[in-house]
Amino acid sequence: MTQSRDFIGDTIGDDTILINLKTGAYYSLTPRGGSVWAQVLAETTEFTTDDAPVLMAMVAEGIFESDVTPVDSDVLDSALAFMKYTEMSELLLADPIHEVDEDGWPKLR
């Protein structure tokens, strides 16, 4: 299992935040989701059976790439792993760091 190239993230204290670079959605991971995220980044395989629903929700969302096919996403409880937010997606996709010109920021294109 590996992190998807479409996602970046960081952990500060107990909070882990991810951003989907293709959709602009951002995610606040639950403590269990943050733990699973850290384990995947560390390339550990010491998951418990309690981690399975969290892993499957994150695979179904595209956060992780895996050879394992997740169960039907309608029966997954993503709240075990993360909260998803999309209200700022347009702004996050504007890429203000690289799209600033003489007109200023933000300038949606």
Residue range 45-77, pLDDT digits in tens: 788 888 888 988 999 899 998 887 666 555 577
Residue 21 DSSP label: T
* Torsion 13-90-93-6 (CA) sign: positive
In this structure, the number of other CB atoms found within 10 A of the CB of residue 103 comes to: 8
Residue 102 Cα distances to 13, 24, 93, angstroms: 38, 25, 19
Average pLDDT over residues 12-36: 92
Q: What is the pTM of this model?
A: 0.75
Residue range 90-105, pLDDT digits in tens: 777 776 555 556 665 5
